[in-house]
Amino acid sequence: MSRFAAPIAEQIWDMKYRFKDADGTPRDVTVEDSWRRIARDLAQVEKAPEKWEEAFYEALEDFKFLPAGRITAGAGTARRVTLFNCFVMGTVPDSMAGIFDMLKEAAVTMQQGGGIGYDFSTIRPRGADVLGVSADASGPLSFMDVWDAMCRTIMSAGSRRGAMMATMRCDHPDVEDFIAAKSDPARLRMFNMSVLITDPFMDAVKADASWDLQFNGKVYRTVQARDLWNRIMKATYEFAEPGVIFIDRINEANNLSYCETIAATNPCGEQPLPPYGACLLGSINMARMVSDPFGDNPQLDVEALNKLVATAVRMMDNVVDVSKFPLDEQQAEAKAKRRIGLGVTGLADALLMVGLRYGSDAAAEQTEAWLKAIARAAYLASVDLAKEKGAFPLFEADAYLASGTMQQMDEDVRDAIAENGIRNALLTSIAPTGTISLYAGNVSSGIEPVFAYAYTRKVLQKDGSRTEEEVVDYAVQMWRDLKGDAPLPDYFVNAQTLAPLDHVKMQAAAQKWVDSSISKTINCPEDISFDAFKDVYMAAWDQGCKGCTTYRPNDVTGSVLSVSESADTAPGEVAAQATAEEGGEVVYMSDPLDRPEELEGSTYKIKWPDSEHALYITINDVVIGGHRRPFEVFINSKNMEHFAWTVALTRMISAVFRRGGDVSFVVEELKAVFDPRGGAWMRGKYIPSMLAAIGGVIEQHLIATGFIAGEGQGLKSDPQAKVVGLDAPRGKACSSCGQYDLRMVEGCMTCGSCGHSKCG
């Protein structure tokens, strides 16, 4: 009998986590093989590896403990990838040479699969003097553009684009430009952006006081703090960014405040890290921890939870020793502090199983109690590891116990740490779990509410046809299995029906016992008033959150999959329905179009150095609704060595083009291909491979026909889509699987059909 609770779970495993040879031949025949591979690899550093391999396997079995995707896909494969998810890079020097040294380090880190964060507050503002060269500084935003372009060309391990976080202090002279940057739909698309909000700034906002914008002690100008706060709020209201990070609160609470200062986070914000800081992630599946779900006495199995947490902490601590690191500085930082980020997923499902409405006071109290139990178990497990293997090298008992987080910890835990030390400096974090939650049977993601109780996805079959498949939330499916056709109780709520302030309440409840931070999206309705929207952020500040990320559908990022009540659904149940405004320059087709007899097109010539024959690339376009878009590609050459792959490429690209949607990702994928034998200089640019050259030709054609805005940019506008052949309009398509199933979850646009997200 399959271990997978839903077909989508097995498909995610096969696509994302199953170990395969380069030719696609599976090494992991079953998911049990994947669990065994991970368990064996992480047990290798133990004195009794066979014993711990079995314990680790038991924790992984049936998706009880879910290591993050980096670990699940990479452990035991001998691939040169890091098992760490999160990095904050070194402090960016305020010099040209230093800035580009940092750019190189970022490229190396992303190439091995790490998401990175940077604080750009250390770069002097635009217009400041540059000593010695009689010039004005171009400012941090100009260098962020360079980072953004680099990220577009670096393919992260596992065929993922790199993800980056950029932060800037609220007192930097260029902060207003930083706030407004995402109003341009084509700029800084590879970054998530957040403003570092200080305690004095929030005091000034509440007092409506003035606020100095300064750099290196020089005040460049003075603004009203409330006006600057409103600018941040307005940009976020209209463009979904920037987020806010309450940086003083983070540093005050940090267990390591005595030996590090934090100024940035990883891309999704759950890991505030010092320069060269690194953290790995994993999640306890709360949906598997409830005994007698929906029964007469449903409750969390505390004994099973404590055992699972202890094993998970040991596994994650071993990852520090097993993993490779892109940079020596990252390895030194990780081993000096041995940070881990143990979190949860399936929280909303677990609350449903015990009869609690997500967002209610009772659910918030229960969440706080559960997260405290996990924190206690994790800290005590790390103390036991310190007894056995030693405390983390930078441990100082008095300073550690004086930190903001540790002052609220129970006395028995504090006493144990004081006597024995602790193995891991920080232990808890709520990470994005969009993909691993699908892999675990579509449990609710992280501490987010259930997004949709059920939705329909189209699945591509081997013969090219598509079948429809219902994807049901794990707790909803359990209710169906136990209760049959009985309607869902009224305590079932989802992300679409939840008030924004209920989101804040749940985040604040969880934050009390999370020593790092939380990746969470507060979904806001499109028609929320600006004043009500601002109240969400002020509530996050007042209730003790370390940051706040919201999502409200907007013209720049577009609409995402939403859900609505339907006459065809059972009472209390919802069906997914994509929503979008009419118009736009992109036409999505429900089925491939037949080829017209005549098409407009252009032919381009590529002469690759050291190749005897040129390539000729013909791109033909179709015109729909007055808009021109690519329809097919032909690649021809007299060089027979190129024949097989050019034919394959022709067919694949043409098939993608004929499906419609935003196909500009084809350009990005081709341009990111590097030839290990070396690239070539063409027209003053270094082109890393012949495939990248083909991608460049397609890109220039799409620019010339008005389909995309410019080189290295996306669509000419960021439209909502018009669908040909379907009654219901659609939002943007997933760049990985092409399905119209995007949703904002935990700060990242995530596909419900394949789990793809920029953040992992």
Residues catalogued as catalytic: 266, 268, 270
Closest CA to 498 of 639, 357, 385, 610: 357
Query: Phi/psi at 63 (nearest 5 deg)?
Result: 65, 30
* Euclidean distance between CA atoms 588 and 660, whole angstroms: 5
What's CA 285's distance to the chain center, in Å? 19
Q: Tally Cβ neighbours within 10 Å of residue 531.
A: 8
Angle at 656 between CA 653 and CA 658, to 5 degrees: 110
Cis peptide before 242 (omega within 30 of 0): yes
* Euclidean distance between CA atoms 376 and 316, whole angstroms: 16
Query: Phi/psi at 564 (nearest 5 deg)?
Result: -145, 155
* Euclidean distance between CA atoms 265 and 571, whole angstroms: 42
Q: What would the 3-class secondary structure string for 36-68 be? A: HHHHHHHHCCCCCHHHHHHHHHHHHHHHCEEEC
CB 546 within 8 A of CB 272: yes
Cβ neighbours of residue 79 closer than 8 Å, sequence gap 6 or more: 157
Give the pairing of strands 299-300 and 290-291: antiparallel
Q: How many helices (H) and strands (E) does the chain have?
A: 24, 35
* Euclidean distance between CA atoms 47 and 644, whole angstroms: 52
Q: Tally Cβ neighbours within 10 Å of residue 679.
A: 18
469-474 CB contacts, 8 Å cutoff, 24+ apart: 469/7, 469/8, 471/6, 471/8, 471/442, 471/752, 471/753, 472/6, 472/442, 473/349, 473/442, 473/443, 473/444, 474/5, 474/6, 474/287, 474/346, 474/349, 474/440, 474/441, 474/442, 474/443, 474/444
Helix pair 302-322, 361-389: axis angle to 10 deg: 50
CB 446 within 8 A of CB 343: yes
307: tokens are 């055992």
Closest CA to 35 of 56, 20, 51: 56
455: left (phi over 0), alpha (psi -120 to 50) or beta: beta
Cβ neighbours of residue 508 closer than 8 Å, sequence gap 6 or more: 364, 540, 543, 544, 545
98: tokens are 């230093």
Cβ neighbours of residue 298 closer than 8 Å, sequence gap 6 or more: 290, 291, 292, 353, 354, 355
